[in-house]
Amino acid sequence: MASPQLPASEQAQLDHLQALVAKCIEETRAQGATGSEVGVSVETGLSVTARLGEVETVEHHRSRGLGLTVYFGQRKGSASTSDLSPEAMRETVAAACRIARYAAEDPCAGLPDADLLATEFPDLDLYYPWPIEPSAAIDLAVAAEKAARTYHADISNSEGASLNTFQGLRVMGNSLGFLHGFASSRHSLSVSVIGERDGQMQRDDWWTVARDARDLEAPEAVGRIAAERTVRRLGARSLGTRQCPVIFAADVASSLLGHFIGAIRGGNLYRKSSFLLDQLGKPVFPAFVQIHEQPHLKKALGSVPYDAEGVRTVPHHLVRDGVLESYVLSTYSARKLGLSSTGNAGGVHNLIIDPGSLDLPGLLRQMGTGLLITELMGQGVNVVTGDYSRGAAGFWVENGVIQYPVEEFTIAGNLREMLKNLVAVGNDVDLRGNTRTGSILLEELTIAGN
């Protein structure tokens, strides 16, 4: 099926890749497989990095690959190659078939149920190639870094600015008759600088990302925000150990939702390694919380017409009125749990927690006295028990007003209680990723400091 509004040259390449996938599926049948699924991709891009006004790197990226899985009954084998020639394709099929013949049978292995496969493919507006020349890309990176370095006298050094472009074509098909491909793009600009005052040094950054380069923030704005974030951290103090309310700023709040998704992911559930085991249909958040997927938002970074297995994606409530309504399942994990795929092979797609009415200053006033977290460090999260402990940095708040920056402390709690004790979600939603959330206010965490 033709991709909507795709230029003729890209459409011809997409047609070629679809024909290659179809031939590969036929080859798996010829070599005895009872079922197969095949994916192929071709990607190109440009990356430039500038530091202290000088070019550090200029890299052109070009990659391609074919991956396939074959089934002999319920025995599975997989193989991949970066060579898309007919000979390499046949050899890759043969390698997968050899593996499958010696694999143990797995009653849950196999292709998705045919009635779950996508049959409609909306134009999600994902493809905006950016044919920028390296010299122009360098100019944008240098401009962003210059804006940061000249923002304030306390900006003393730079870790550089980077501009990255990506565009690619992906096709997948299986022996049930599914065959489709689409094009996508993704572009970004980032800056990181270092500030110094009274012998203390701090760093921070900012970035912008979009499908369409015209939707990126201006280089000067990216640099200015990176510098603002760096300067405001200078003069950071340590904290004494205490318990207090905590706000996760929007750009780090997505990590909390990431831990929640990990706990309801099928693989962790069928292995019985999740703190949310057997919680389906039970309240896991306060009643005002709504969390859902919207996989068909135009131009959004997480939008896809189908998951990594070809199962159609649909708007999907995970939490309604605080109650866990759905897990996050691939075909295999669903069968292990006696359920159906939720179209989440490969992950979630545009995860959204509905915002409240307050912006970040409003949340600070609601919190009164407590801690605003702007950076998290380390990975001290146990998805089995829900125990949570991470290094952090941010700002101490009193009477709803930021008082001073703080660092060198750890925040600790248990995710089950943290989710249940969520107080409010801000309307300062960060749109720069697959998870869309505002700042999140939690009732209380333990702060381990000096």
pLDDT one-digit tens code per residue, 20-42: 999 999 999 999 999 999 999 99
Cα torsion 403, 404, 406, 411 to 10°: value is: 10
Percent of the chain whose predicted confidence (pLDDT) is above 70: 99
Cβ contacts of residue 21 below 8 Å, gap of 6+? 38, 39, 40, 171, 172, 173, 179, 181
Spell out the domain ranges in the chain: 8-231, 242-255+355-448
Strands (E), 52-143: 54-72, 75-81
Contacts of 100 (CB under 8 A, 6+ apart): 33, 70, 71, 72, 75, 76, 77
Report the largest interatomic distance among the alpha carbons of the chain, rounded to a whole angstrom.
Answer: 73
Residue 386 has pLDDT above 80, yes or no: yes
Given a cut of 70, whether residue 186 has pLDDT beyond it is: yes
pLDDT for the residue numbered 3: 41
Overall average pLDDT of the 428-448 stretch = 97
Q: What is the CATH number of domain 8-231?
A: 3.30.2290.10
**Would you tell me how many other CB atoms lie within 10 Å of the CB of residue 8?**
7
| Residue 1 confidence class, pLDDT cut points 50, 70, 90 | very low
Closest CA to 215 of 104, 130, 106: 130
Provide the mean pLDDT of the chain: 96
- Tell me what pLDDT residue 2 has: 38
Burial (CB count <10 Å: 0-12, 13-18, 19+), residue 95:
middle
- Average pLDDT, integer, range 47-66: 97
| Residues in the chain, total | 450
Mean pLDDT, residues 8-29 taken together: 96
Q: Per 3-state DSSP, what percentage of the chain is helix, strand, and coil (rounded to 5)?
A: 25, 40, 35
Neighbour-count burial of 327, counting CB atoms closer than 10 A to its CB (0-12 exposed, 13-18 middle, 19+ buried): buried
Band (pLDDT 50/70/90 cuts) for residue 9 is confident
Residue 5 has pLDDT above 80, yes or no: no
pLDDT in tens, 188-224: 999 999 999 999 999 999 999 999 999 999 999 999 9
67-85 pLDDT tens trace: 999 999 999 999 999 999 9
pTM, to two decimals: 0.94
Q: Look up residue 361 and give its two tokens.
A: 């200053």
For the segment 250-305, what is each residue's pLDDT rounded down to a tens digit? 999 999 999 999 999 999 999 999 999 999 999 999 999 999 999 999 999 999 99
